[in-house]
Amino acid sequence: MINLTIDNKKIKAEEGTTIYKAAKMAGIDIPVLCYMDLHDLNIEHKPAGCRICVVEVEGRKNLAPSCSTEVTEGMVVHTHTLRVLNARRIVMELILSDHPKECLVCPKSGNCDLQKIAIKLGIRDIPYQEISEISTYRTDFSPSIIRNMDKCIMCRRCETMCNELQTVGALSAINRGFMSVVAPAFEMDLEDSVCTYCGQCVAVCPTAALTEVDHTNRLIRDLSNPSKTVIVQTAPAVRAALGEEFGLEPGTLVTGKMVSALRNLGFKYVFDTDFAADLTIMEEGTEMLERLSKHLQGDTSVKLPILTSCCPGWVNFFESQFTDLLDIPSTAKSPQQMFGAIAKSYFASKINISRKDLIVVSIMPCLAKKYECQRDEFKVDGNPDVDYSISTRELANLIKRANIDFISLSDDDFDAPLGESSGAAVIFGTTGGVIEAAIRTAYELYTGKSLEKFDFRELRGMEGIRQATIDFDGTPIHIGIAHGLGKARELLEGIRKGESRFHAIEIMACPGGCIGGGGQPLHHGKTEILKKRMEAIYREDQSKTIRKSHENPYIIRLYEEFLGKPMSEKAHRLLHTHYVDKSKKIIYI
Amino acid sequence: MSNIKVELKKYQVEQIKEICKSFGNNPDELINVLHKVQGTFGYLPAEVQEVIAQELKVPVAKVYGVVTFYSYFTMLPKGAYPISVCTGTACYVRGAETVLQEFKKELGIEVGQTTDDGRFSISCLRCVGACGLAPVVMVGDKTYGRVSPDMVRDIIKEYSD
Amino acid sequence: MTVKKKHILVCNGTSCQNVAHDEIFNNLKKELQNHGLEESAGLVRTACFGLCEKGPVIEIFPDKVFYVQVKPEDAKEIVEEHIIRGKPVKRLLYNEPETISGKESGEKARFKRKQIRIALRNCGVIDPENIEEYISRYGYEALGRVLDEMTPSDTIRIIKDSGLRGRGGAGFPTGLKWELARNNQNDQKYVVCNADEGDPGAFMDRSILEGDPHSVIEAMAICGYCIGAGKGLVYIRAEYPLAIERLKIAINQAKEFGFLGRNILDSDFHFDIEIRYGAGAFVCGEETALIHSMEGGRGEPTLKPPFPAQSGYLGKPTNVNNVETFANVPVIILKGAKWFSSIGTEKSKGTKVFALAGKINNVGLIEVPMGITLREVIFEIGGGIRNGKKFKAVQTGGPSGGCLTGKHLDLPIDYETLVAAGSMMGSGGMIVMDEDDCMVDFAKFFLDFTVEESCGKCTPCRIGNKRLNELLDKICKGNGAMEDIERLYNLSIVIKDTALCGLGQSSPNPVLATLNHFRNEYEAHIIDKKCPAGVCKALMTYEIVEENCVGCTACARACPVGAITGERKEVHRIDPRLCIKCGACLEKCKFNAVIVN
C-alpha cells in the first residue's frame, strides 16, 4: 500500500493506482474528459491528451494528468489550487474555442460530456473567438453513423474502441497538430471503409462528433400518414435498457411499458422481434443440426464450426475481413430481417394490404441494424422488408417528445400473431443467448428427449471468449462464444489455421451482446450497467412459460400455415441469405 | 465498400509487395517501407497505401494516419523539378521568406502545389544543415546557396526548355 | 605505405558538398597526378570543418592553412604553389573579418582558438569512410578496454563521474540514465541513438555522423555492454542522405573488423546496429515519440513514467542518447572521468557543439568548453555581426528556447545558467539576430514552427499554440490590443504547465522570452502600430521621396500590382491602398527615392 495525501486527506492506495482513482476512492471527483475506463472489458483509455484532469503534485515542475499519473509514496496532491483551476479553465476554453457553439440544436445536448464539464468548470465566456480558426471537416453520412468531426475534441476514445476492442481498424488519428482528427483512411466515407457500424465509437463519443442516423422525424411523418399501416418490432435488449433513459435503475425490465408507449405513439401493431428470434432458432438450429449430423456421420465436406449470423455488425466484419470464411456462418437471416420478411408476406396478406402500404419499423439496440435493413438482399422490388430501424435512444427521445409519462404507463401486451415468443428468444439480447437458445431446440430435436433444465450457465457471463462442451446424449458438442469483434477475431484466426475444435460458435459484435449495442442508452463507461441489463434479460427468460423456440405455438402455426418446415424451399427464399465479399481487391489497369 | 482500382501496372504492385517482403512484412517497419516505396514511386497515392496495408496486414487507416503525420511523406506527385526552399531559422533570418514568395509569384503556385505542366512544384524544407549558404534552395538534388529574390527567375530558367 | 608529406583535406560536409565539391576534388586529384605527387601528398575527403560560411573549405595539413571559397579552377594553383613550392595561395587564405590586412591566419584563426574538440575531434581530420583512419586515432580502443578490463558497472561509474549530460537538450546525466536501463532486468534491451535532429538551424549531429560515424558506433556498443543490450538502433532523419550513407559504410566496416556482431573482440558480448529513418516530425526528437515512430506508428509522445529505461522500444528497456552525447563517450573512457570533468563548469562538464547561424560572420559549427561566454562565442569565434550591424539577441535552444540579449553576453554557457536566463541549452542551435530583426515576428516564426510540428495529441499544444500564434499574428498585423500581451502571457504559462511533452511544455518559451526582453517592441506594434525593425509588412508604408525621384519609371515597372503611377521624368507616387509591400520598388530604385516607414 502507498500512502499519499490528496487535498489534505491522508489516503492509502494500492501500487499502480492513478491519482484520479485514488482521489475517487477518497470521494474527490476530479473532472476527466478523454479518459475512459471500461473495466469489465479490460480497456482503460488514458491518452492523457485533454489535460482537463491536471492536478498539482508537490515537487513536480508541471501539473500532472491525474488520469494516468500513478501514485507514489508520500505524494502530496492538490486538486483545486488556483493554479489548477486556472489551468483547467484555460484548457477548457481552448477546447471550446475549436468547437462549434450550437449546443441548442446539438443532438448530444444534455448528454454531452464536454457540456457537463464546461458547466462544472463554470465557463461563461469563450475567448479567442475574434481570432480563432476552427478546424472544419466534411460531414460524413453513412446509413448508420454520422461523423461530424467539427465537434471532435481528439479524446480518441473511438479510435480505441475501433482498433483495440473491435480490431476493425476503420478509424485512425490522421494529420497532426491543429488539423489532427480521427477519420477513416483518406478521409473516405465510413460507407467505403471497413466500418461494421457496430456503433461502439458512437457509444463512447463524449460529444456529437459521432452520432446515429436519426429516423424519428421520418417515423412521425409515417405514423401520421393515414394511407400507411405502420407496425413495429422490438428487439429483446431494448426492454432491458430503455428504462434507464427515464431514470429507472439499470436492469429494470420495462417490456409492458414499452409496448404501451409504442401503442400510444400510434403504431397499428406492436410486435416482438423475439417472435422472429424463435423463428431464427428453427432455421439456424435446423441448419446446425443438419451440418452436425453429416459431420458426425463422417462427411468431411461439411464446414464446421457453424457460426451464428444474427448480428449485422458481425456479418459486416466477416464480409470485409474474413472473406475466406464466407461459407461457414449460418445462412439464416437475422431476427430483424426474418420478421420483416414474414411481416411483409405472411402478415401483410393476413391483414390484406400490399407490402408497399405496410411500414415495418424496428426498435433496436444497434446501429448496424440501420444499415442491415437497407441492404439490397432484403428488398423485394426495391421495397425493404424492414423500412427503417430506430435505436433505443431514439425511441426514448420520441416518447419524451410525445409527452408520454413513461414511468406511470401501465403494462401492455404485444399483439398477435407476431408478438408471442419463448424465453429462448429473449436471451438473444445478451452474449451467449443465441447459442443457448439454439441448444435448447437442437438438443431436443437431435436426441428426441426433453431437456430437464433449460439454463446452461456454462454459456453465460462477461468473459470475452467462453467455451463449453454440451453433452448431446453421449455426443459432446463443443461450443464457442465471443463478444466484441476483437475476441471474434481470435476465434476466427483459430478457424483459419484449422485449430478450432468447436462445432458451433456464437459471435456478437458488441461487448455484452445486444445489451451493450451502439444504440443503447449511453453507459458513460459504467460497464456494470451491462451486467444489470444481462440479469434482466435472464429474468425475463425465467418468467416465460415457454422457454424453447420450437414450442412457440405461433411459430408452429406459421410453419403449418405458411412455411412448411424449417429449411423448406419457401423458408429458404424468405428466411435465408447469402454473404458478399466486401474486401478491397486490387484490380490492375 | 468496393473493389478499388489500382492505377498501377501489375509489375508496380509486385514492386511494392517485394519491398514489403524485404522488410519481412513486419508492421513495425511501416515507416521504412513507406520511405522505400516513396523512393520508388515518388509519392504515396491511396492505392499504393492500400497495397502496403494488405501486405503488412495493418488497417489502411493506420497507414494513412502515419503518412499524414510525417511531413516527408506526400500523397501528391511532385513536379519534374521539385523546388524546395529551406525555411530553417538560419535561412529565415537571411530572407528565405522573400525568396519563397518570389518562387510562388513566378510559378503562380502555392507551397505543396505543382504547376499545370507538371514541371515545377514548391515545397518548404526544414534545415538541410547548409546554413553557411543561407538562404538555400534545392531543385531536385542541386543546391543553390545565398539565393536572393532576383536570382529566382534565372534558376527557373535553367529548367525551362 | 609511404609517409605522405602533405595532406589536402577537402571538406565534404553537406554545406561544402553542395557547391562544386566533386569538381574541386577531381581537379586536385588530376593536378597531383600531373605532377606525380599521388604518393607524397594525400588527398582526403573529410567532413565539416565547421566553417560553413566560407565553403568550400580546404585545409592543408600539417601546415594548418585554410583555403576558403575555393573554386574548381583554383586546384592547379594550390598544387603548384603550395604543395610543390610551399607558398600558400594568399588570395584564398581565410581572413579574419576584423583584420582586413590579408594576414595569413590559418592556424591563428580565432575561429579555432577557444575551441576544444572532443565530440568533433575527428571531424574534418579523418576520412569518415575509412575505418583505419578512425582506428589510427585511438578508435575502438575504448571499446577494447571496456570489454577487456572493465565491468559494466565500472564503465557506468566513469561516465557518471565524468559528469557527462545529455546533449540533446534536457541535460539528463548520461551515466545515471545508463544505470537505470541496466537495473531493469530483461532478456532484450535496446540502445537507441537519437539522430533526428529537427531543430531548424542546427546541424551538429549531422556533422558528427558525416565526419566521424565510428565514434557513435563505438559508443553505442559500449553502452550496449553497460546496460546489457544486444541491439542498437540509430533513428536518423531521412533528409540526411550523406550521413546515412556514411553511417551505413561505417557499420559495415565495423562488422568486418569485428567491432560489431557476435563475440566482439573475442569477448562474449554481441552487438548489432540497425538504422531507422525519421520522416519529418520534430516531435520525434522526444524519446517516447521517437520510440513510437521506430515501431512504425505516429510519433506521438506518451506520458513518462514509464520511462524508456523501464519500457521502451517494443516494451523493452531502452536507453536513448543523442549523437553528440555518444560521440563524447569513447574519449571519456580513454582519458578518464577526471580529465573530462576538469573541462566546463561545476554542473556542466565537457564541451558543447553549437551551430552558429543567422546574422553572424562565421556561420558554422563550433565546439567550446562549457562555461564560455556568449560574447566569446559570438564576437570572437563567430567573428561578430555581419555588415557591421548591431547585435540584438541570440536564440539558443531553437524553438524550445528563448532569446538572450546584450545583457546576457557575459553569462557562462551551461545548462543551469541558460535556463535561469529564460532560455535553454537545447541541442545547440544558436541563431544571432541584429537590429534588423523584429522580435515579435521572430517569436511568431517559432510559433509557426511549433504549430506546424505539434503532434496534436494534447489540447494545450494542439489548440493553445495555435491561439498564441493567432495572437502574435494579430499584433504583427497592427490589430493588437494591450490586453493581448496579458493573454499571451497567461496562455503561455498554462501551456508550459499543462502540455504533455517537452515540445509543448517549451513551445511558449520564445514568446515569454521576447515578452520579457523586448516588451517595448510588442508595445510599439500595438500602440504606435509600428514595427521598429521594419519587418512586419502590414505595419510598413512605402513612400517615394520627391527630391530623390528622377522619374526613371523603374519602380513602376517593377511593381507587381500597378500601385505606382507617374509620367517619365516626373515624380512617381505609390498608392498605399494598392501597395502589397513586396519591396520590389525599393530594390529597383537606384536613387534612394523609395523609403519604408
Query: Residue C359: inside a domain, yes or no?
Result: yes
Give the residue, A179 or C238, on which the prediction is more confident: A179
Give me the DSSP letters along C347-403: SSBSEEEEEEEESBSS-EEEEEETT-BHHIIIIIIS-SBGGGPPEEEEEESGGGSEE
* Position C81 confidence tier, pLDDT thresholds 50, 70, 90: confident
Query: Residue C109: inside a domain, yes or no?
Result: no
Q: Domains (ranges, CATH) in chain A?
A: 2-120 (3.10.20.740), 140-212 (3.30.70.20), 282-333+422-553 (3.40.950.10)
Query: Residue C245: inside a domain, yes or no?
Result: yes
The one-letter amino acid at C260: L
Same domain for C546 and C469: no
Least confident of A489-493, B151-155, B157-161, C531-535: B157-161
CA nearest to A52, candidates A6, A89, A11, A12: A89
CB atoms A193 and B61 under 8 Å: yes
**Could you confirm whether A372 is annotated as catalytic?**
yes
pLDDT score of C107: 38
Instruction: Determine contact: C452 vs chain A, CB below 8 A.
Output: yes
pLDDT score of C51: 67
Identify the top-confidence range among A253-262, C77-86, C278-287, C554-563. A253-262
- The residue with cell 519591396 is C583
A31/A35 Cα distance (integer angstroms): 10
Q: Facing residues of A406 across strands?
A: none
* Position B4 confidence tier, pLDDT thresholds 50, 70, 90: low
Task: Please identify which of the residues A377, A528, A560, A561 carries the catalytic annotation.
Answer: A377
Is residue B88 pLDDT above 80, yes or no? no
pLDDT score of C110: 57
Same domain for C459 and C422: no
Same domain for C155 and C78: no
Same domain for C290 and C162: yes
CB atoms C582 and B101 under 8 Å: yes
- The predicted-structure confidence for A463-476, as pLDDT tens digits, reads as follows 999 999 999 989 99
Instruction: Determine contact: A23 vs chain B, CB below 8 A.
Output: no
User: What does DSSP assign to residue C428?
Assistant: S
Task: Please identify which of the residues A283, A372, A394, A436 carries the catalytic annotation.
Answer: A372
Query: Residue C104: inside a domain, yes or no?
Result: no
Same domain for C452 and C410: no
Is residue A478 pLDDT above 70, yes or no? yes
In this structure, chain A runs to a length of: 589
CB atoms A91 and C498 under 8 Å: yes
Burial class (CB in 10 A: 0-12, 13-18, 19+), A144: buried
CA distance A318 to chain B (A): 13
**Could you confirm whether A311 is annotated as catalytic?**
no
CA nearest to A329, candidates A303, A349, A309, A300: A309
Least confident of A86-90, A485-489, A523-527, A548-552: A523-527
The domain that holds C373 is classified in CATH as 3.10.20.600
- The predicted-structure confidence for A273-325, as pLDDT tens digits, reads as follows 999 999 999 999 999 999 999 998 888 888 889 999 999 999 999 999 999 99
* H helix or E strand, kind and range, residue A372: helix A368-372
Q: A330 with A438: CB under 8 angstroms? A: no
pLDDT score of C58: 82
- The residue with cell 441489463 is A533
pLDDT score of C169: 78
Instruction: Determine contact: C310 vs chain A, CB below 8 A.
Output: no
CB atoms C467 and A131 under 8 Å: yes
Q: Which residues of C touch A70 (CB under 8 A)?
A: 305
pLDDT score of A515: 97
For testing the chain A interface, which of B4, B5, B68, B72 should be mutated: the one with the most A CBs within 10 Å?
A: B68
* Mean of pLDDT values over B13-24: 95
- A455: CB partners within 8 A, 6+ apart: none
* Mean of pLDDT values over C4-16: 72
Average pLDDT, chain A: 95
Q: Strands C429-434, C402-405: parallel, antiparallel or unpaired by DSSP?
A: unpaired
Give me the DSSP letters along C36-68: T-TTTEEEEEE---S-GGG-S-EEEETTTEEE-
Same domain for C236 and C174: yes
The domain that holds C558 is classified in CATH as 3.30.70.20
- C206: CB partners within 8 A, 6+ apart: B129, C14, C195, C197, C237, C240, C243
Last residue of a domain, one of C312, C340, C368: C340
Task: Please identify which of the residues A46, A151, A257, A369 carries the catalytic annotation.
Answer: A369
Q: Which residues of B touch C281 (CB under 8 A)?
A: 69-71
* Position C390 confidence tier, pLDDT thresholds 50, 70, 90: very high
Sheet containing C58-61: order of strands = C41-46, C6-11, C58-61, C65-67
pLDDT score of C50: 65
* Mean of pLDDT values over C206-234: 95
Is residue C53 pLDDT above 50, yes or no? yes
Closest chain C residue to A129 measured between Cα atoms? C467
Domain of residue C495, residue span: 439-526
Average pLDDT, chain C: 89
CB atoms C303 and A63 under 8 Å: no
Is residue A531 pLDDT above 50, yes or no? yes
CB atoms B8 and A163 under 8 Å: no
pLDDT score of C106: 47
- The residue with cell 436519426 is A214
Same domain for C324 and C237: yes
A581/C381 Cα distance (integer angstroms): 70
Q: Which residues of C touch A171 (CB under 8 A)?
A: none
pLDDT score of B87: 79
CA nearest to C148, candidates C253, C288, C264, C33: C264
Same domain for C141 and C68: no
CB atoms A90 and C487 under 8 Å: no
CA distance A587 to chain B (A): 5
- The predicted-structure confidence for C151-161, as pLDDT tens digits, reads as follows 999 999 999 99
For testing the chain C interface, which of B87, B92, B136 should be mutated: the one with the most C CBs within 10 Å?
A: B92
Task: Please identify which of the residues A245, A283, A284, A436 carries the catalytic annotation.
Answer: A284
* Mean of pLDDT values over A495-503: 91
ω before B135 within 30° of 0 (cis)?
yes
Query: Residue C15: inside a domain, yes or no?
Result: yes
Task: Please identify which of the residues A162, A310, A366, A510 carries the catalytic annotation.
Answer: A310
- The predicted-structure confidence for B146-157, as pLDDT tens digits, reads as follows 898 889 999 999
A268/A359 Cα distance (integer angstroms): 10
**Could you confirm whether A103 is annotated as catalytic?**
no
C-alpha cell at C29: 586529384
What percent of chain C is predicted at pLDDT more than 90?
A: 60
What percent of chain A is predicted at pLDDT more than 90?
A: 90
CB atoms B13 and A588 under 8 Å: yes
The domain that holds C51 is classified in CATH as 3.40.30.10
Same domain for C389 and C309: no
Query: Residue C211: inside a domain, yes or no?
Result: yes
Is residue A497 pLDDT above 70, yes or no? yes
pLDDT score of B129: 64
The domain that holds C162 is classified in CATH as 3.40.50.11540
CA distance A158 to chain B (A): 13
* Mean of pLDDT values over C526-551: 90
Query: Residue C99: inside a domain, yes or no?
Result: no
Is residue C16 pLDDT above 70, yes or no? no
- The predicted-structure confidence for B92-145, as pLDDT tens digits, reads as follows 778 888 899 999 999 999 888 888 888 899 988 776 667 677 788 888 878 888
pLDDT score of C288: 96
Secondary structure percentages of chain B, helix, strand, coil, to 5: 50, 15, 40
Is residue C115 pLDDT above 90, yes or no? no
Is residue C61 pLDDT above 80, yes or no? no
pTM of the complete model: 0.90
For testing the chain B interface, which of C54, C354, C363, C559 should be mutated: the one with the most B CBs within 10 Å?
A: C363
CB atoms B59 and A587 under 8 Å: no
**Could you confirm whether A310 is annotated as catalytic?**
yes
- C210: CB partners within 8 A, 6+ apart: C12, C13, C14, C47, C48, C123, C128, C240, C242, C243, C246
3-state SS, one letter per residue, for A512-534: CHHHHCCCCCCCCCCCHHHHHHH
Is residue C108 pLDDT above 50, yes or no? no
pLDDT score of C333: 97
Same domain for C450 and C408: no
Question: Distance between terminal CA atoms of chain B?
Answer: 46
* Position A42 confidence tier, pLDDT thresholds 50, 70, 90: confident
Same domain for C88 and C159: no
Report the number of distinct structural domains present in chain C: 5
pLDDT score of A335: 97
Burial class (CB in 10 A: 0-12, 13-18, 19+), A125: exposed
The domain that holds C457 is classified in CATH as 1.20.1440.230
Query: Residue C152: inside a domain, yes or no?
Result: yes
**Could you confirm whether A369 is annotated as catalytic?**
yes
* Mean of pLDDT values over C468-474: 96
For testing the chain A interface, which of C457, C488, C492, C493 should be mutated: the one with the most A CBs within 10 Å?
A: C457
Is residue C384 pLDDT above 70, yes or no? yes
CB atoms A170 and B50 under 8 Å: no
* H helix or E strand, kind and range, residue A234: strand A229-234
Q: Facing residues of C212 across strands?
A: none
- The residue with cell 489551468 is A87
Q: Which residues of C touch A68 (CB under 8 A)?
A: 303
pLDDT score of C38: 78
Maximum CA extent, chain B = 53
Sheet containing A475-483: order of strands = A306-307, A504-508, A475-483, A465-472
Closest chain B residue to C558 measured between Cα atoms? B150
In this structure, chain B runs to a length of: 161
C-alpha pair distances (Å), C487 with each of C201, C471, C483, C491: 29, 8, 6, 6
Same domain for C288 and C169: yes
- The predicted-structure confidence for A197-227, as pLDDT tens digits, reads as follows 999 999 999 999 999 999 999 999 999 999 9
* Position C1 confidence tier, pLDDT thresholds 50, 70, 90: very low
Is residue A191 pLDDT above 80, yes or no? yes
**Could you confirm whether A284 is annotated as catalytic?**
yes
Q: Domains (ranges, CATH) in chain B?
A: 10-67 (no CATH), 81-158 (3.40.30.10)
Q: C227 with C189: CB under 8 angstroms? A: yes
